[in-house]
Amino acid sequence: MSKKEKNTEKEIELGFGNKNYHKNTRFLNKDGSVNIRRLDGDFFRHLDLYHTFLNITWKRFIIVVLIGYMLANLFFASLYYLAGTQYFGNLSGVDERHKFTELFFFSAQTLTTVGYGFIYPKGTLVSGIAAIESMTGLLVFALATGVLYGRFSKPRASIRYSTHGVIAPYENITGFMFRIANTTQNELIESEAQVILSMNDLKTNQRVFLPLELETKKISFMALSWTIVHPIDENSPIYKYTREDLIKADAEFLILVKAINDTYSQTVYSRTSYKGHELIENAKFKPLQRTQHGNKATINLQKLDEVELQG
């Protein structure tokens, strides 16, 4: 059986398909998100705010919350102003700008149900608006609290990947390598790695997905760093491929890592990918220096990406 036939037998289907990828394609972004956009003409059916707020970064989450809070108060302050400033007691603003500012802070007090009571509504209309705003605040903050709890309680595999993959000397051959490490103080146990090569077959104009054999597929503890190696021997689908060949074939190394978070006793997942231009040839990772602090070993993960060229 020829090498090509063997590789065809090993080809797997990840759900991305294998046809009509004539342009450069990236299936997994560096942050592990799937680079697929689904369109069916119904925007609202696919609008999942809870999923979005759970998965965006903390920076974006805080910015969205602050912007939403400001817009809500501006909206209700505008309603109060249009209803008439004469219907509010203790407004001390000397001009319209100061009155609107006071109504903005009155809105903030009503929305959060703080209610200092210094400024108060005197008419039925503005009292009704204030009642609607206080109910809105109760509902929105209850939802925000649930999302905040979900973000804190959601188990994650906080795995840091080396910025680049390398093609480095390995025993008497070469190997495709990348390095990962657990960045949190909890432990990841029973960690497993899977690497799948996605590339265009220039003869058939189809994209193939081939699993790559690894030197070590599973480790018991990810206490330090883990360098994952695919030996590039004559059975490898990228045997005798150069970095330029991989770029030409639009190769992408899809990385799937699975582990058990011992704090939550739940299985967590992490993903990323390396494209051909993100590889460094004839290089290997520098060993991470370990130091001893009391009875604990310490490694500096800031040096996870450091490589040294060979020859």
Domain co-membership, 300 together with 163: yes
Q: What type of residue sits at position 87?
A: Y
Domain co-membership, 145 together with 181: no
pLDDT number for residue 9 = 46
Domain co-membership, 25 together with 168: yes
Domain co-membership, 147 together with 180: no
Sequence-separated (6 or more) residues with CB below 8 Å from residue 137 = 110, 111, 112, 113
Residues paired with residue 191 on neighbouring β-strands, in sequence order: 219
Tell me, rounded to whole angstroms, the distance of Cα 206 from its chain centroid. 29
Domain co-membership, 132 together with 48: yes
Sequence-separated (6 or more) residues with CB below 8 Å from residue 190 = 218, 220, 259, 260
Give the chain's domain count: 2
Domain co-membership, 78 together with 213: no
Radius of gyration of the chain measured on its C-alpha atoms:
28
What is the value of pTM for the model shown? 0.73
Residue by residue, pLDDT tens for the chain (311 residues) are 444 444 444 556 666 665 555 567 788 888 877 777 766 666 666 677 888 888 888 899 999 999 999 999 999 999 999 999 999 998 988 899 999 999 999 999 999 988 888 899 998 999 999 999 999 999 999 999 999 998 888 777 789 999 999 998 888 899 999 999 988 878 889 999 999 999 887 777 788 889 999 999 999 988 888 999 999 999 999 998 999 999 998 999 999 999 998 888 889 999 999 999 999 998 889 888 777 777 777 778 888 888 888 76
pLDDT number for residue 4 = 45
Last residue of a domain, which of 153, 174, 192? 153
pLDDT number for residue 5 = 45
User: Which three-class secondary structure state does DSSP give residue 64?
Assistant: helix
Residues paired with residue 228 on neighbouring β-strands, in sequence order: 178
User: What is the domain extent for residue 248?
Assistant: 3-36+157-309
Last residue of a domain, which of 117, 134, 153? 153
Rounded CA separation 78/107 (Å)? 10
pLDDT number for residue 46 = 64
Rounded CA separation 278/36 (Å)? 21
